A and B are shown apart, each in its own frame.
Chain A
């Protein structure tokens, strides 16, 4: 740190110092902004943190009128919807990434890749809009009754079919995160050295065997990275989830039941939170979301860098 300062001072004396100082200030501003964000969330959730402690994450009672706040139902909703989304989006996304990286001709691969990037560019609120109009009725009339008969009263798939609820939110999230898995997954697969594939093919394996037994294991950390990156998106996704999850702060056994997520409760209640404790409780929910996505994204970046770095250093 000291050396860095002295080097900076030395550069300041030369003519380029000003440019360096300006750029340094803005680089520092980005760091400051991230620090300030963490600090503001910490500071403005103090009331709720001291009053409820760790019980905040365990208690299910969310009663603004009584001044009782526990976020367990929101944490549950966020984790469950994200889990459902991953269950659907991971096989799909990796399948698409395999197709684009291993099978499709170059032209097709880049066109499909671009279309999927456009899919990722569709605003969340539009997914919510289409979700309400199309997915909710489909879930209510076809998917949920179908799952019910298929599983014969299994608790996860029981109860009235409202259309809205955990499962529907998970499906919308799945659609939204597939492009992320594809775009990172494709890069990771493309970074697997060609000779790995050729060696497998030369030994007589089929195209699928070379992909499944050689390319995928080689790319595994990076693919996990892609999944974690998508998970980070899913955890914080707000509008589309808010519009189809049903917004009921309860933990129910059924995936058909209306639920609530951390981001959704902030979106719905923040501007009505009149009491300071209420406000601090909502900001603590945001703090939990902050910590969760920070960890998940750090893991994702580590994994992706590990795979791509390993192939590059060969």
Chain B
């Protein structure tokens, strides 16, 4: 009798605990849909053509848009891609193809250290390195901050994807008389290209939403920003500034900007995963 009731208790615990893990999963996933739905609702209502074509209006006035912030973000992402992608890629190439055990450990440690750094600390780094000497907040500084954040992401995933290229493929190329360099350029990198492009897209999507490192590198700007040596508006910083402002119309525009940013980030993420195919997140 006691054995029976004990077994029953065990079965109940089993069902309850396993049920709870399912509930937790459902709850966590529903946060995604809630955030998405809420932004669609609030942002969708606020989004208009002016958002994409007009400059911000002065505080208190209604209307206007964030055209300058869209361009500013695009410019900084361009700089981030131009600096972060090649540096990260080549460092990853070094880790996977050239580095000895100890050198690899050092580079990997540095990349992981950078990867774990709060992005605001990177912002300060770029402030002391670029903004202070140039005595100017600028698109360039903001782009570099984003680029630095991309480097470790790119390094570690490039290494991972290059390592996954089977050894026989390399050996076949070497056996045909190709040098190591030719083997890397013509065989190894193309074999890993899909993964590396995915990593680049995910890295760009990640920095596209970064706000903290831009607060005191690119600052913001109510107008168009010429070239790369002037302060510039950006989508994430505008969302922050408008969200914490006391003006209703700015709140409305913050939602619109939030919807645009979230859409860009999630589309890039989904596209990147599609590109990589189902084989990795199995």
**A residues whose Cβ falls under 8 Å from a Cβ of B:** 4, 7, 15-16, 18-20, 22-31, 33-37, 40-41, 43-44, 91-92, 95-96, 98-100, 103-104, 106, 110, 112-119, 121-130, 132-134, 175, 178-179, 182, 206-209, 212, 232, 235-239, 243, 263, 266-267, 270-271, 282-283, 286, 289-290, 293-294, 296-297, 301
Contacts and interface: CB of A to CB of B under 8 A. Distances in A.
Interface in B224-255: 236, 239-240, 243-244, 254-255
B262 A123 contact: yes
Nearest to A91: B24
Contacts of A31: 106-107, 110
B28 A15 contact: no
B29 A115 contact: yes
Nearest to B262: A126
Q: Is the interface on chain B under 10, 10 to 19, 20 to 34, or 35 or more residues?
A: 35 or more
Contact of A27 (B94, B102, B116, B239): B94
Interface stretch (B12-20, B55-63, B165-173): B12-20
Nearest to B207: A123
A117 B91 contact: no
15 contacts: A7-B100, A18-B181, A33-B110, A37-B121, A41-B128, A99-B18, A122-B265, A123-B211, A124-B211, A125-B211, A125-B261, A133-B42, A236-B117, A239-B240, A296-B116
Given A92-B27, A129-B255, A289-B118, A27 B95 contact: yes
B47 interface: no
B45 interface: no
B226 to A, nearest CB: 21
A96 B27 CA distance: 9
Contacts of B278: 110
Interface in B87-102: 87-88, 90-91, 93-95, 97-100, 102
A19 B269 contact: no
Which of B39, B116, B206, B269 is most buried by chain A, counting CB atoms within 10 A of its CB?
A: B116
Contact of B121 (A41, A98, A118, A123): A41
Given A23-B94, A297-B113, A271 B25 contact: no
A239 B212 contact: yes
B266 interface: yes
Given A123-B209, A208-B13, A208-B18, A23 B117 contact: no
Contact of B212 (A44, A114, A124, A293): A124
B134 interface: no
Given A92-B28, A243-B240, A270 B124 contact: yes
Which of A179, A182, A208 is most buried by chain B, counting CB atoms within 10 A of its CB?
A: A208
Contacts of A40: 124-125, 128-129
Contacts of A121: 202, 205-206, 209, 265-266, 269
Given A129-B255, A301-B112, A96 B24 contact: yes
